[in-house]
Amino acid sequence: MQKKSLKLFLIQNFLIILLCIYISEELLSLLYRLVILPGLMDLFKMQQITISGNGNILIFMIQLLFCYLVSFLPKGASDYLQGFLTDLFGIGIQFKVTSPLYQGQWASLLTVSFLLLLLFLLGLSLLPYIAGTLWYYKTVTGKVNELLEEEKERQLNYERKRNLLLSDIAHDIKTPITTICGYSKALSEGVAQEEKRMDYLNAIYGKALRIDELITLLFEYVKLDSEGFCLHKEPGDLAELLRETIAAHYADFEEKQITLTIDIPDHDLPCEMDSLQIGRAITNLLTNALRYGREKGKVLVRLRDDLLTVADDGKPIDPDFAERIFDPFSREDSSRRTKEGSGLGLSISAKIVEMHGGKLFLDQEFGEGYTKAFRIRLPEY
């Protein structure tokens, strides 16, 4: 996206500068024709110098300068070169000097004066191009420096997030491992009471599942972020995929006595997608509703055109936390205290949806009796 943005910026500014150069050139040509050239012609006429011509003002000034220079050559050479320049530029300009001032010491002074005047007028004709070039250079340089600063800040932000990610991983893995080590040592040394042995084994098994879940989610997150990963998109039916995903988790909702309302159209909803990854993103949203929804509460799963919604009536999300809810390992303080969730599920879902060109967002004003809704908007197919 950044490359496209830079390319669009360069094209837009280039076209703007071309337009400004064109307008400036037209205004300058108007100034030449109405003010400068009439005054110059009057000055030349006073010095018995005759000039006639027409055409583009810049070409006119270049030819005028050349013709002025060759006029100081011997007459035969001067006439030949003036004729050659006329044929070359395709503009008729005659430059003849008959002033008696071109004799003696006044000749050099007058020659230098007219030469400097013509050089100044030529420079004035080139001014829009020079100014446009400098403006474009300054604009492009400023934009490139801005992008470099953004990239530097993005890299620093990435390093900070990576360090935080590693810290959270170490913390979340260390806690269950500590429990496993403690209980397994008690069992191996025979210090655990007989009636507690089964509790210890269940705790070890539960903590092992927790580590397995965490590592699986971490693997999925890292895989999505890896350079070689790519989606395998193909035409599919989003409505049917949603039905299959809900069916796989229906028993979990019944177990928590959550009323599940399903609003999916009967007709097909074609969508070009990686079905495996989109299914994973939907699963994470359903798991999130199961984990943080209210027990014996209600959950809504709705699909309307390109908008998929998973809403629940659980505890509302704190506005400060809502701003970073899709960052990896982001959890509210209450979730950290109860060790619920990994803080990776929503981040993985958001990344998958983004890779499909869509957006996952939180809507806490959804209404209809629900406190919050996670909504996926996919591009139209």
120 or 335, which is more confident:
120
Same fold, 156-225 and 234-377: no
Round to the nearest angstrom and report the end-to-end CA distance of the chain: 20
Share of the chain above pLDDT 90, in %: 10
Residue-level pLDDT at 4: 67
Cβ 110 vs Cβ 98: under 8 Å:
no
Query: How crowded is residue 211: how many other Cβ atoms within 10 Å of its Cβ?
Result: 15
For residue 374, pLDDT beyond 90: yes
Number of H helices, E strands in the chain: 11, 9
Backbone angles phi, psi at 271, to 5 degrees: -155, 130
Share of the chain above pLDDT 70, in %: 74
Which amino acid, residue 100? P
Burial (0-12, 13-18, 19+ Cβ within 10 Å), 164 = middle
Residue-level pLDDT at 47: 58
Q: Which residues pair with 263 in a beta bridge?
A: 302
Fold of the domain built from segment(s) 156-225: Helix Hairpins (1.10.287)
The CATH number of the structural domain formed by 234-377 is 3.30.565.10
Q: Can you tell me the distance from the alpha carbon of 254 to that of 293, in angstroms, rounded to the nearest whole number?
A: 13
Cβ 292 vs Cβ 315: under 8 Å:
yes
Query: Taking the domains of the chain in order of start, what are their residue ranges?
Result: 2-149, 156-225, 234-377
**Average pLDDT for 346-358:** 89
Q: To the nearest whole number, what is the mean pLDDT of the chain?
A: 78
For residue 337, pLDDT beyond 50: no
374 or 58, which is more confident:
374
Residue-level pLDDT at 266: 87
Q: Which of 68-72, 80-84, 93-97, 170-174 has the lowest mean pLDDT?
A: 93-97
pTM beyond 0.75: no
Please state, in angstroms and as integers, the Cα–Cα distance from residue 33 to each residue in 53, 95, 103, 199, following that order: 12, 18, 31, 100
CA atoms within 13 A on the CB side of 55: 15
**Average pLDDT for 156-162:** 76
Residue-level pLDDT at 30: 78
Residue-level pLDDT at 207: 84
Residue-level pLDDT at 282: 92
> For the segment 289-325, what is each residue's pLDDT rounded down to a tens digit?
988 888 888 999 999 877 899 999 888 888 888 888 8
Q: Can you tell me the distance from the alpha carbon of 335 to that of 204, in angstroms, rounded to the nearest whole number?
A: 21
Residue-level pLDDT at 336: 43
For residue 258, pLDDT beyond 60: yes
Q: How confident is the model at residue 216 (pLDDT cuts 50, 70, 90)?
A: confident
Q: Can you tell me the distance from the alpha carbon of 273 to that of 106, in angstroms, rounded to the nearest whole number?
A: 85
